[in-house]
Amino acid sequence: MIDFELSEEQQMIRDSVGGFAREEIRAAARPADESGIIPPELVAKAWQFGLVSGAIPEQFGGGGDARSAVTGAIVAEELAFGDFAIALHVLAPRLFAFPILEMGTDEQRAKFLKHFCGADFAAATAAIMEPRFDFDLTAMQTIAKRDGAGFILDGIKCNVPLASESNNILVYAATDAGKGFAGVDAFIINRNARDAPGVTISEREKNMGLKALATYELTLNDCRVDADARLGGDKGIDFSRLMSESRVAFAAMGVGVANAAYEYARDYAKERKAFGVPIATKQAIAFILADMAIEIDASRLLIWEAAAKLDKGGDALKESYLAKNYVAASALKITDNAVQVLGGHGYIREHPVEMWLRNARGLAAIDGIATV
Amino acid sequence: MIDFELEPQVVNRLKMYRMVSEQMMRPISRDCDEHEHVKPTQFYESMWSASAMAEVQVGNDKDKAGDGAKADAGPKLRNLYTVLSTEELCWGDAGLFLSTPNAGLGGAAVMAAGTAEQKERFLKRFREGKPKWGAMAITEPGCGSDSAAVTTTATRDGDHWVINGTKIFCTAGEMAAEKSEGFVVVWATVDKSAGRAGIKPFVVEHNTPGMDVVRVENKLGIRASDTAAIVFDNCRVPFDHLLGSAEVKREGGFKDVMATFDATRPIVAAMAIGVGRAALDFVRDFLKEQKVAIRYGISPRRLTTIERDFMEMEVQLQAARLLTWRAAWMLDLGKRNSLEASMAKAKAGLAVTLITQKAVELLGPIGYSRKHLVEKWMRDAKINDIFEGTQQINMIIIARRILGYSSKELN
Ligand SMILES: Cc1cc2nc3c(=O)[nH]c(=O)nc-3n(C[C@H](O)[C@H](O)[C@H](O)COP(=O)(O)OP(=O)(O)OC[C@H]3O[C@@H](n4cnc5c(N)ncnc54)[C@H](O)[C@@H]3O)c2cc1C
Ligand SMILES: Cc1cc2nc3c(=O)[nH]c(=O)nc-3n(C[C@H](O)[C@H](O)[C@H](O)COP(=O)(O)OP(=O)(O)OC[C@H]3O[C@@H](n4cnc5c(N)ncnc54)[C@H](O)[C@@H]3O)c2cc1C
């Protein structure tokens, strides 16, 4: 039955994560963007929310909470409202842990999930993107070929968050090229991936935005893995579902950034006077702000709809794809307009809006990071 | 808990509206459009007798005997249900939807501003006898968006009001004023010096002397719906035809009347969405026939322009729809929804203008041809960005709300 209200529990999570993001993450965002360093204390504090361990079953030492894509979207949005890059950093271990949780074999779950239930941040990640303009999840050029019982992986991945500090990396590769989503599998590369044979991790990447997030290129050259490295064993994975989840979370972060920019611009416009009146009293500015408000709500509803469908076990490929592409455009437009509302001051790095514009641009460029 | 799934009973009910659309509206769509002022009387009769119409009678709060629809939807979700059925019927034909005999906007005004006794007295007729129409007349040649500037006057004369002025663009005005036993709710000022506080709604019964339909407009779209210009020349109505209180208060009064729009804007948004979905469905079926696949999930940089356009149409429609559902749902829960209602209306008006224009563009000569209905839908869609508050007026309302500004500060 149609309902637009969060559950009490979701409201509580939203308030607590949101409060932390508003105050502590936001304060760290600009220095992190300039220096490329996220304070470890901040990451440790975020970890205490049980962002990863909460959903891991009690038998592995986790909180055993039911996983919900809607709740995941709410958390992702709130964190990114504080800072997109920091949100991606603290959620990066989900890229590894959640696919194992959801689609791993019993052995894989038993072996890996406990790593995420300790008191300290456990870096882990996934390698999905490839450095090509036309990179397509359904036509990967990273290939995994059968080799006896195991596989040989070849290809180049990029935008792999925390690759350097992660002991566990999930690498996605085509095992049956031409089969689209169904032809993709994921492989666990572990035990200090830097030293795994056939794996090379580049220098830290340099991007226009999301500069606080450490990402790397990862080259696989004749990289051999055992059969048990294949996520889900013989059954493999439901890659389409994983990517739907990923898109929902990534899009939710886009809304978080857009909302940050909107609120900032709105408050600024009420303060800033030009021609003797607050600029917000001019329709040219007021309509921009009204449009931002509409688009934030519309974007969020599209995401929640896709997420609610995932929560019911449905196929939300179409909904999540449309929502993510919608948000990629709306978040860019909203952050761009925030810069515009601040005029020349929006262009200056003293204000955060230019950073949000650079960060929001990442939504259209990146696919397949941030699972819910 | 966040949920966007309709209950099976509701889905089933909507299938009935779909049948009405397919069997009673679509077959006469083109003909009604081409013969603008010819009345589809047979359609009126069928719709009037179809109990299925109960829910779209805006402002008619009485359950019809034996009508199970509301019970299905749950009494709490009445506005949401109206929005859903409106979309379904406007998928059929928005012009015919607007011309359907019912209390219409006049009924909405009675519901919003009338006393319990007035509601019963004026709305009873819509549950019995022959087809009837209700209309609302606010707009004047000299004032549209600025509805507080109406110049039509109502002067007290003993136990009557005497109304003078000219109203234009009155939907179903001809049917309500002259062609049925309906009524027109007219906005007039009882005290010009009081500004907006002096504006009151009056019920003027059909064929009241001094009320004359002087013109029925020729329009771009929704041609099945009559849009009338009505002149009031010393038109006398009984004292108790003023809806609500005759007292001129500085506060309240006008605001209450404006609150009518909180309920009707989501419905207008839903009308837009119905038309937009008609166009989208047509394009989808057409592309399928042509074996053009829409590939969801691949890199957006590998999409064809047709795929991109189609997906954009699809997601814009869904964004508008979700905003609309939310606005109606809030009303059902008794929450103040002015902001959300304007968001829905602003988004839907714009989105569906774009969607229908895109549909014509995508289909090339087929889209432009009067052989199909796509070009008509583009013409029909446009009105939704204009009436019940233009795009700009809704943006002002939204901006005022998010900025905490009064109408003086932002206008
Ligand atoms: C990199 C850079 C280089 C520059 N170089 C120079 C230079 O060499 N010389 C120089 O003198 N200046 C320079 N400027 C300043 C620049 O011209 C101003 O920033 C610009 O004119 C906008 O003024 P503002 O920043 O005070 O914005 P504001 O005037 O505060 O405007 C804020 C927002 O309100 C809008 N707005 C303002 N008034 C109205 C209105 N009446 N109706 C509707 N909307 C309104 C604006 O369009 C804007 O979106 C530079 C700025 C930058 C960022
Ligand atoms: C088919 C049809 C059916 C209708 N049905 C009814 C009905 O049943 N009853 C009824 O009373 N009316 C009805 N209307 C009238 C309708 O509500 C008005 O046309 C509408 O409110 C706009 O008013 P206007 O046409 O006078 O335009 P104007 O108010 O003159 O507006 C012209 C343009 O200026 C813009 N504008 C106006 N004020 C501002 C502002 N402050 N800031 C920025 N932009 C502004 C508008 O957005 C618009 O783009 C109907 C109209 C049509 C065409």
Indicate if ligand 2 lies below 6 Å from the C-beta of B324: no
Amino acid sitting at position B51: S
Residues of B in contact with A139 (CB under 8 A): 298
Confidence of residue A368 (pLDDT cuts 50, 70, 90): confident
Most informative mutation of A264, A279, A336, A341 for ligand 1 (most atoms within 8 A of CB): A279
pLDDT digits (tens, 9 = 90+) for B391-405: 999 999 999 999 999
CA–CA gap between residue B276 and residue B310 (Å, rounded): 12
* Chain A nearest C-alpha distance from B69 (Å): 16
Q: Which pLDDT value is given to residue B284?
A: 98
| Closest of A248, A236, A336, A37 to residue B2, by C-alpha | A248
pLDDT score at B252 = 60
Residue A179, pLDDT above cutoff 60: yes
Q: What is the predicted ipTM? A: 0.94
In the prediction, which pLDDT does B51 show?
52
3-state secondary structure chain B: CCECCCCHHHHHHHHHHHHHHHHHHHHHHHHHHHCCCCCCHHHHHHHHHCHHHHHHCCCCCCCCCCCCHHHHHCHHHHHHHHHHHHHHHHHHCHHHHHHCCCCHHHHHHHHHHCCHHHHHHHHHHHHCCCCCCEEEECCECCECCCHHHCCCEEEEECCEEEEEEEEEEEECHHHHHCCCCCEEEEEEECCHHHHHHHEEEEEEECCCCCEEEEEECCCCCCCCCCEEEEEEEEEEEEHHHECCCCCCCCCCHHHHHHCHHHHHHHHHHHHHHHHHHHHHHHHHHHHHHCCCCCCCCCCHHHCCHHHHHHHHHHHHHHHHHHHHHHHHHHHHCCCCCHHHHHHHHHHHHHHHHHHHHHHHHHCCHHHHCCCCCHHHHHHHHHHHHCCCCCHHHHHHHHHHHHHCCCCCCCC
Q: Residues A353, A264: contact at Cβ < 8 Å? A: yes
For residue B72, pLDDT beyond 50: no
Average pLDDT along chain A: 95
Does the distance separating the beta carbons of B396 and A308 come in below 8 Å?
Answer: no
Q: Is B21 in the pocket of ligand 2 (CB under 6 A)?
A: no
* Cβ-based contacts of B293 with chain A (< 8 Å): none
Can you give the pLDDT at residue B69? 40
CB contact under 8 A, B5 and A312: yes
Which residue on chain A is closest to B309 by alpha carbon? Answer: A322
Number of the ligand closest to the Cα of B219: 2
Reported as a single tens digit per residue, the pLDDT across B154-173 is 999 999 999 999 999 999 99
Could you tell me if the CB of B148 is within 6 A of ligand 2? no
Report the share of chain B in percent with pLDDT over 90: 84
Ligand 1 atom 53 nearest Cα: A344
pLDDT of residue B253: 62
Ligand 2: atom nearest CA of B225 is 1
**pLDDT band at B300; cut points 50, 70, 90:** very high
Å between B31 CA and nearest CA of chain A: 37
Q: Which residues of A touch B6 (CB under 8 A)?
A: 1-2
For ligand 1, the distance from its centroid to the CA atom of residue A258, given in whole angstroms, is 22
- Rounded to the nearest angstrom, the distance between the alpha carbon of B390 and the centre of ligand 2 is 6
* Phi/psi of residue A186, nearest 5 degrees: -125, 145
% of chain A with per-residue pLDDT over 90: 94
Residues of A in contact with B3 (CB under 8 A): 1-3, 308
What is the predicted pLDDT for the residue at B251?
62
Cα four-point dihedral sign A286, A287, A292, A295: positive
Give the separation between CA B401 and CA B337, rounded to whole angstroms: 11
Per-residue pLDDT, averaged over A175-198, amounts to 86
Q: Measure the CA–CA gap between A190 and A220, rounded to whole angstroms.
A: 14
For ligand 1, what atom is nearest to the CA of residue A342? 32
| Chain-chain contact of A290 with B5 (C-beta, under 8 angstroms) | no
pLDDT at B56: 43
Over residues A215-255, the pLDDT tens digits come to 999 999 999 999 999 999 999 999 999 999 999 999 999 99
CA of residue A355 to ligand 1 center, whole Å? 19
- Which of A2, A129, A292 best tests the B interface by mutation, with the highest count of B CBs <10 A? A2
C-alpha to C-alpha distance for B247 and B224, rounded to whole angstroms: 39
Give CA–CA dist B18/B89, Å, rounded: 7
Kindly tell me if the per-residue pLDDT of B74 is higher than 60: no
Q: Which residues of A touch B395 (CB under 8 A)?
A: 283, 286-287, 290-291
Strands A169-174 and A125-127: parallel
The per-residue pLDDT of chain B, averaged, comes to: 91
Nearest chain A residue to B81 by CA: give it. Answer: A2
Q: Which residue has the tokens 């179809």?
A: B50
Around ligand 1, the residues with Cβ closer than 6 Å are A 272, 274-275, 279, 282, 284-285, 340-341, 343-345, 347
The pLDDT-based confidence of B256 (bands split at 50, 70, 90) is: low
Question: According to the model, what pLDDT value does residue A369 have?
Answer: 82
A139: closest CA of chain B, how far (Å): 8
The preferred substitution site among B387, B405, B408 for testing ligand 2, maximizing ligand atoms within 8 Å of CB, is B387
Q: Which residues contact A133 (CB under 8 A, 6 or more apart)?
A: B301
B29 lines ligand 2 (CB under 6 A): no
Q: Closest chain A residue to B343 measured between Cα atoms?
A: A294
Calculate how close chain B gets to A60, using CA atoms only, in Å.
29
Contacts (Cβ under 8 Å, ≥6 apart) of A146? A175
Q: How far apart are CA B321 and CA B84, in angstroms?
A: 10
Nearest CA to ligand 1 atom 42: A282
Statement: residue B71 has pLDDT above 50:
no
Give yes or no for residue B68 having a pLDDT over 50.
no
User: Could you report the per-residue pLDDT of A151-171, keeping only the tens digit for each?
Assistant: 999 999 999 999 999 989 999
A contacts of B310 (beta carbons < 8 Å): none
Q: Is the predicted pLDDT of residue A372 greater than 90, yes or no?
A: no
Query: B3 and A290: CB-CB below 8 Å?
Result: no
pLDDT of residue A195: 64
Strand-pair partners of A273? A278
Catalytic residue status for B174: no
Percent of chain A beyond pLDDT 70?
98
Nearest atom of ligand 2 to the alpha carbon of B173: 8
Residue of A nearest to B393 (CA): A287
pLDDT in tens, A93-151: 999 999 999 999 999 999 999 999 999 999 999 999 999 998 999 999 999 999 999 99
Q: How far is A22 from chain B (nearest CA, A)?
A: 20
Find, in chain B, the residue whose alpha carbon is nearest to that of A322: B315
pLDDT in tens, B179-204: 999 999 999 999 999 888 899 999 99
Own/partner contacts of B301-310, CB < 8 Å, gap of 24 or more, are B301/A133, B301/A134, B302/A134, B302/A136, B306/B362, B309/B358, B309/B361, B309/B362, B310/B283, B310/B284, B310/B362
Mean pLDDT score, B247-263: 74
